[in-house]
């Protein structure tokens, strides 16, 4: 049985079948996707995929990302995506590919009532800028890529704890721990005060192991090695 968590667990992916399974499993509270995941899933028609995903997720929060690099086109896409449903959050990257800040666009869209998921954040300065730009009356998600921070050899936990304090000034903004690398990240994210964590299907499957006896897990591991050796027919 999966543990009872205070943090909201969002499934991250672009496979509609996995979305349906995650929703039916009763563990997840929402969904996220992005152009990279969509491409890996072989998606070529964005709007068609979005319609299927919205049906699959049954009214739970779901984030779709703009894919333009020009801010005017980002704004047009964001306003269109926002019309797809009340559960939709529009993902806006913190900068474009030239490194130009998206903060002015974030401020305009949030003031216009567009629910945003600001993505690809990796620094506390970016968290401060985004939080300052958000309209206090518009729900938003601030996605910090804690897993990518860890990939650089830095401990993301202190940064995420401070980010949670920064985001508190906007009560309708939620801090999201993005790009987790292991199940432990769910526990860490909850402990530091994150509201949401995104998880892959592989991590989601491991939730049932939370709190499992280590003695029992040790025995399971020994059995796995024994059974695999037998199945391989090893002889000495």
Token readout for 45 is: 């028609």
Please, are residues 93 and 102 in contact by the beta-carbon 8 Å criterion? yes
Q: Where are the alpha helices (DSSP H) in 100-199?
A: 103-111, 124-133, 146-151, 156-167, 184-192
Question: C-alpha 222: how far from its chain's center?
Answer: 34
Q: Which of 76, 168, 89, 87 lies closest to 128 in space, CA to CA?
A: 168
Token readout for 50 is: 């979005």
- Residue 91 annotated among the catalytic residues of the structure: yes
Sign of CA dihedral 24, 26, 32, 35: negative
| Bridge partners, residue 44, by sequence | none
| Other C-beta atoms lying within 10 Å of the C-beta of residue 75 | 18
The one catalytic residue among 4, 40, 79, 91:
91
List Cα–Cα distances, 112 to 65, 100, 140, in angstroms: 18, 22, 12
Token readout for 175 is: 């801090």
Sign of CA dihedral 66, 72, 75, 77: negative
Please, are residues 130 and 165 in contact by the beta-carbon 8 Å criterion? no
For the annotated catalytic residues, the residue numbers are 91
């Amino acid at each position: 049985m999966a543990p009872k968590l205070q943090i909201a667990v969002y499934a991250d992916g672009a496979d509609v079948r996995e979305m349906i399974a995650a929703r039916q499993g009763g563990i997840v509270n929402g969904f996220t996707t992005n152009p990279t995941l969509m491409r890996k899933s072989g998606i070529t028609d964005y709007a068609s995929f979005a319609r299927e995903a919205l049906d699959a997720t049954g009214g739970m929060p779901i984030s779709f990302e703009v894919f333009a690099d020009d801010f005017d086109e980002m704004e047009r896409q964001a306003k269109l995506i926002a019309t797809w449903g009340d559960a939709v959050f529009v993902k806006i990257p913190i900068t474009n590919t030239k490194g130009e800040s998206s903060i002015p666009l974030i401020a305009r869209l949030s003031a216009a009532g567009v629910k945003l998921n600001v993505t690809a954040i990796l620094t506390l300065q970016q968290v401060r800028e985004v939080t300052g730009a958000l309209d206090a009356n518009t729900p938003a998600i601030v996605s910090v890529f804690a897993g990518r921070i860890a990939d650089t050899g830095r401990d993301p936990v202190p940064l995420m704890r401070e980010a949670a304090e920064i985001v508190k000034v906007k009560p309708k903004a939620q801090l999201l721990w993005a790009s987790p690398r292991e199940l432990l990240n769910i526990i860490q994210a909850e402990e530091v005060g994150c509201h949401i964590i995104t998880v892959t299907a592989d991590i989601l499957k491991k939730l049932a192991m939370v709190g499992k006896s280590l003695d029992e897990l040790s025995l399971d591991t020994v059995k796995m090695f024994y059974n695999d050796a037998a199945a391989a027919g090893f002889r000495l």
